[in-house]
């Protein structure tokens, strides 16, 4: 079965008004689906008086909610569930059995790249009008897909209550002063060896997703990451680690923490997300 056949058809909502100006692709967390996750997110208030939602703030947007395929989750005793990739427990430092992530991240990244390319063709503003984001494991998958995206610059990347797979490993390989242990050809010394390219090259090798060309798209793309301090599903430490890693790689990251918030979003988080996108003209 091909990757396209394994991934259910996405839920698509909008635009509320014509013409189409933006596409927002949102990935759900493990155990959910696009049709389950999407409607609640779109109807959730983003300000105290409840007068605005993401739909009213982005009336010209195409909201796309893909669904992860069903697979066995090792962390749930191999129970069958919707997940973007398999992984083990996320307790810090969250590096145990990292190899479990590789097949799913590889498949999901390729699927998301196809989905992003399709949406770029549909929206008049091109790649700069496409926003990629996700919640929890969906955030993790979105960040990896963004790091490995080789097309034109996206408008923004956003994540809620999530983490960055292999964050510690990427920081390690990017900061080493030793000889490049990952060189595979005679021209390796002629390639750019800055922190971002070194980390991305390592991630590509880990996931076996060869590069068609050099791309540092994410270094030119604004990233928003929000996380509840009381999150008992994905510890806030993991969100901080994701933000720290991306900043070390030269990515423009806006990091926000929310007191008394567990493993979910809130009106404050969505309000900050809206303000972030508006301030960077992504919503226009």
Query: Which tens digit of pLDDT belongs to each residue from 171-225?
Result: 999 987 344 544 544 443 333 348 899 999 999 999 999 988 777 888 899 999 9
Task: Tell me which of 48 and 203 has the higher pLDDT.
Answer: 203
pTM: 0.90
Q: What are phi and psi of 22, to 5 degrees?
A: -140, 160
Task: Tell me which of 58 and 175 has the higher pLDDT.
Answer: 58
* Nearest-angstrom CA–CA distance, 100 and 87: 5
Q: Are 46 and 58 in contact (CB under 8 A)?
A: no
Tokens 């390319």 sit at which residue?
117
Q: What average pLDDT does range 44-51 have in this prediction?
A: 87
CATH code that applies to domain 11-165+216-280 = 3.40.50.1820
pLDDT tens by residue, 244-281: 999 999 999 999 999 999 999 999 999 999 999 999 87
Inter-axis angle of helices 236-248 and 167-175, nearest 10? 30
Q: Are 121 and 95 in contact (CB under 8 A)?
A: no
Give the per-residue pLDDT at 94. Answer: 55
Please report which confidence band the pLDDT of residue 70 belongs to, taking 50, 70 and 90 as the band edges. very high
Task: Tell me which of 284 and 55 has the higher pLDDT.
Answer: 55
pLDDT reading at 152 higher than 60: yes
Give the per-residue pLDDT at 51. Answer: 84
Q: What are phi and psi of 49, to 5 degrees?
A: -85, 0
Q: What number of H helices and E strands is found in the chain?
A: 9, 9
Give the per-residue pLDDT at 244. Answer: 97
DSSP 139: H
Give the per-residue pLDDT at 180. Answer: 52
Averaged pLDDT of the chain: 89
pLDDT reading at 283 higher than 80: no
Inter-axis angle of helices 167-175 and 195-207, nearest 10? 130
Q: Are 108 and 85 in contact (CB under 8 A)?
A: yes
260 dihedral zone (left: phi>0; alpha: psi -120 to 50; beta): left
């Amino acid at each position: 079965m091909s990757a396209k056949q394994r991934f259910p058809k996405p839920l698509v909502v909008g635009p509320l008004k014509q013409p189409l100006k933006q596409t927002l692709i949102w990935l759900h967390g493990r155990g959910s689906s696009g049709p389950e996750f999407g409607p609640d997110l779109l109807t959730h208030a983003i300000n105290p008086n409840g007068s605005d939602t993401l739909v009213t703030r982005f009336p010209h947007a195409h909201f796309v909610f893909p669904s992860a395929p069903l697979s066995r989750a090792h962390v749930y005793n191999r129970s069958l569930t919707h997940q973007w990739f398999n992984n083990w427990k996320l307790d810090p430092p969250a590096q145990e059995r990292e190899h479990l992530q590789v097949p799913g991240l590889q498949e999901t990244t390729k699927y998301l790249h196809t989905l992003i390319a399709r949406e770029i063709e549909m929206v008049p503003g091109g790649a700069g009008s496409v926003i990629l984001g996700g919640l929890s494991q969906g955030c993790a998958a979105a960040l990896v897909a963004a790091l490995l995206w080789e097309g034109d610059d996206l408008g923004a990347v956003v994540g809620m209550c999530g983490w960055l797979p292999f964050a510690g490993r990427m920081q390690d390989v990017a900061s080493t002063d030793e000889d490049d242990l990952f060189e595979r050809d005679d021209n390796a010394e002629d390639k750019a060896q800055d922190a971002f390219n070194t980390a991305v090259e390592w991630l590509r090798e880990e996931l076996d997703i060869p590069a068609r060309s050099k791309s540092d798209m994410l270094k030119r793309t604004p990233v928003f990451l929000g996380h509840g301090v009381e999150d008992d599903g994905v510890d806030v430490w993991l969100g901080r680690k994701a933000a720290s890693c991306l900043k070390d790689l030269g990515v423009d990251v806006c990091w926000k923490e929310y007191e008394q918030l567990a493993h979910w979003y809130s009106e404050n988080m969505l309000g900050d997300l809206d303000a972030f996108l508006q301030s960077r003209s992504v919503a226009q």
